[in-house]
Amino acid sequence: LAVNRDPVVEKSLAFRRALSGARILLVEDNDINQQVAREILELANITVLLAENGAQAVRMVLQETVPLDGVLMDVRMPVMDGLMAARAIRAAGITALPILAMTANAMAGDRERCLAAGMQDHIAKPIHPDALYAMLTPWIRPAHPEPLPEGLVELTPVVIDPAWAPVEIPGLDVESGVLRMSGNFDGYLGVLNRFLVNQRGAVGSIHQALEGSDLSTAQRVAHTLKGVAATIGADELSEMAARIEEAIGAGEGRARIDGMLDAAATRLSELCAAMEPVVARRSIPVVAAEVVQREPTSLEGRRELLLRRLHEQLAIFDADAEATLATLRREFSGEAWLAGMGPVEEQVGRYDFDGAMKRCRAWFESLPFELEAGHG
């Protein structure tokens, strides 16, 4: 599999240069969509802050804990949806902050509803990087623009290592999924892993909600499955979930809906079974030899640096904490003190940074070695 950039690469590069240095609040309740959007935004050197629902987004904007250049807002979320959140922000007198909508509906009238709520523009999921950059650029003006780092100027086409080829997963358009990750194949595998963890039981959750006459939850779970399936390239499954969502919303009979759910459950099970061996082969960078050759003082210094970085990232809700945790796990594999890191990883995986910070502090207290002051 090789993904080649099309002739619009220069325009995309111009968009990313214009956006470089921006700070954007990403409001999205689904962790797969969070990861995909974050990957795309960070390729434009955008600092991404996360909120999991509209209520959290309103609090972050109104408290002005950090200066923002814009908000990228999912429309359908629990607690408070994107339309309500946009109205609340505008009602508070914040009129200049760009708010841009994302939705998996792509239905007629979506854009008009978003504009009426005080948003500036709208993009349909699944999101393609170039389309997102094109939508953001007219609205986002970085308060502190930065040159696009050299490493991001040229996006390297995806070339799969021969050990991976051929990467084929029945029911999955791998190439389109990788393209939505801006060519980040390893990131795409991470998204597939999240899908396995979080969506494997989606059809069962819909069944359970229907049994409890909770139509709102059943429809929301179907909506989420529709969106994330499209994001990873599982188009057939996405279409099945869309039909289920529509059937629940239209109040169709349970017998018909149950038949649709059975078909979707079979397709989902087949897809997960096909994905598992590919995700299990996810590459691990070879760094062990380098680590072994370091002097103990160098290892201690490296450990100190990474732990400090992790603490600082959690304090500002920086999603790069996930990469720091992965580096710790990789570079210090097998060391007993890593045992306490699991709860931190779990909370970061859910983008619960408050919870992650609490567990991080508890972990630091339990470490069998002293850290320099400053982790408070």
Lookup: tokens for 246:
């529509």
Per-residue confidence (pLDDT) for residue 9, from 0 to 100: 61
Q: Is the per-residue pLDDT at 7 higher than 80? A: no
| pLDDT value, residue 298 | 54
Q: What share of the chain is helix, strand, coil (3-state, %, to 5)?
A: 60, 10, 35
Q: Tell me, what's the pLDDT at 90?
A: 95
With cut-offs at 50, 70 and 90, classify the pLDDT of residue 336.
confident
Highest mean pLDDT among 91-95, 124-128, 289-293: 91-95
Give me the pLDDT at residue 288, please.
28
DSSP labels for 73-99? EESS-SSS-HHHHHHHHHHTT--SS-E
Highest averaged pLDDT of the listed ranges 140-144, 190-194, 312-316: 140-144
| pLDDT band for position 309 (cuts 50, 70, 90) | confident
pLDDT over threshold 90, residue 240: yes
* Most confident by average pLDDT, 89-98, 145-154, 162-171, 174-183: 89-98
Q: Is the peptide bond before 145 cis (omega within 30 degrees of 0)?
A: no
Average pLDDT, the chain: 81
Which stretch, 212-216, 264-268, 325-329, 339-343, has highest mean pLDDT?
A: 264-268
pLDDT digits (tens, 9 = 90+) for 264-308: 999 999 999 998 888 876 543 322 223 233 333 356 777 887 888
Kindly provide the residue ranges of all beta strands, DSSP E only, lying in the chain, ordered along the sequence.
2-3, 23-27, 47-51, 70-74, 99-103, 121-124, 158-159
| Residue 243 confidence (pLDDT) | 95
Average pLDDT over residues 34-63: 89
Tell me the range of 181-190, 242-251, 312-321 where mean pLDDT is highest.
242-251
Q: Check residue 285 and give its pLDDT.
A: 35
Question: Distance between CA atoms of 72 and 252, rounded to whole angstroms?
Answer: 34
DSSP-derived secondary structure for 133-154 = HHHHTTT---SS--PPPHHHHS
Is the predicted pLDDT of residue 371 greater than 70, yes or no?
A: no
Alpha-carbon distance 258 to 206, whole Å? Answer: 10
Output the pLDDT for position 105: 60
The answer, yes or no, to whether residue 327 has pLDDT greater than 50, is yes
The pLDDT assigned to 376 comes to 46
Tell me the range of 88-97, 108-117, 173-182 where mean pLDDT is highest.
88-97
Q: Looking at the predicted structure, is the pLDDT value of residue 323 above 90?
A: no
Tell which residue, 195, 122, 200, 185, has the closest CA to residue 155. 185
- CB-based contact 356:314 (threshold 8 Å): yes
Task: Among 70-79, 99-108, 351-360, name the most confident range.
Answer: 70-79
Name the more confident of 2 and 229.
229
Q: How confident is the model at residue 193 (pLDDT cuts 50, 70, 90)?
A: confident
Number of H helices, E strands in the chain: 18, 7
pLDDT at position 269: 94
Average pLDDT for 304-323: 77
